[in-house]
Amino acid sequence: MNKTFLTLSYVLFLGTLALSPSFAHASSRAVCDDIKSKEKRAETLFDLHRNNLERIENDFETTLENELTQFEQKRNTQKKTAEETLKRHVDMVSKLGATGVQQSKIDVYLKSVQTISQERTRNIESAQQEYKEGIKQIFDQKKSIEKILLEEYKDSSKKAFEITFSDCEKGRSSFLFKRELKRAVDDGHKRFTTKLSTLEFKESLDALKIARDQKIQAAQKLFSEKHTSLISTLRTSLSQ
């Protein structure tokens, strides 16, 4: 179900409003019945739009889930590498063979390293969690807005058909209500597609991703700075 198909369906639907012979006979029961049948066809068009929006939403959600999965896999690899590197460093320091006061200084250093490592992990996980929550908000907002737009479109079209059917039963000129119905339905469709096309979520998603990556980089940098400071302090302390 793509945009071209929906556009073609809508054009064909408008054609039935403009060209149907039944519209040529005012005050005819057949004309009024024909209006009702066209309203049923309009409802089918709404279903096509709804199905298309659902497909787009599913694709959107799948894309985000894939991106999150890829990030998690990359993050797990980086985390494992960082943990292994830190473990080698800790093992090396632990094997210095110091005793007494020096060993207690080394123990303090190792405990501090463990603390800042845990802090780094928490900061990174927090950044990723904020990103996930932000994505969910955007996705929920997207679905909510699209649903509102579709309902507005459906209501405006339904109202146009109700007015036209009323005019038909009152025996009003079929030429007039045919033209007004077509214009009302056409205007409703244009408003719907125009508003839908102006919805833009990519910038918001990109901003979330940038914010997450910056927080992760900041967490890595903070750990590196603290670790460097701890090593410097340990060296100075052991040399005394």
Burial letters 111-131, b for 16+ CB under 10 A, else e: ebbeebbeebeebbeebbeeb
Q: Per residue of the chain (240 residues), what is the pLDDT tens digit?
A: 455 555 555 545 555 554 454 444 444 567 677 777 777 777 777 788 788 888 878 887 888 888 888 888 888 888 888 788 878 877 777 766 656 777 788 888 888 888 998 899 899 989 999 998 998 888 888 888 888 888 888 888 888 877 777 777 777 666 666 777 778 778 888 888 888 777 778 788 889 989 999 999 999 999 999 988 988 888 887 776
Collapsing DSSP to helix, strand or coil, 212 comes out as: helix
DSSP assignment of 41-100 equals HHHHHHHHHHHHHHHHHHHHHHHHHHHHHHHHHHHHHHHHHHHHHHHHHHHHHHTT---H
Q: What is the pLDDT of residue 9?
A: 58
Dihedral (C-alpha) 114, 118, 124, 130: value to the nearest 10 degrees? -170
Q: What is the pLDDT of residue 186?
A: 80
Tell me the residue type at 130. Answer: E
CA dist 212 and 218 (Å) reads 10
Q: What is the pLDDT of residue 222?
A: 93
Tell me the residue type at 161. Answer: F
Q: pTM above 0.75? A: no
Locate 31 and state its tokens: 């004309």
Segment 189-197 long-range contacts (CB within 8 Å, at least 24 positions apart): 189/10, 189/153, 189/157, 191/152, 191/153, 191/156, 192/49, 192/149, 192/150, 192/152, 192/153, 195/149, 196/146, 196/149
CA neighbor of 129 nearest in space, from 61, 216, 217: 216
Q: What is the pLDDT of residue 7?
A: 59
Helix and strand counts by DSSP (H, E) for the chain = 5, 0
Q: What is the pLDDT of residue 25?
A: 45
Q: What is the pLDDT of residue 86?
A: 78
Q: What is the pLDDT of residue 3?
A: 58
**Rg value, the chain, Cα:** 33
Question: HEC states along 52-66?
Answer: HHHHHHHHHHHHHHH
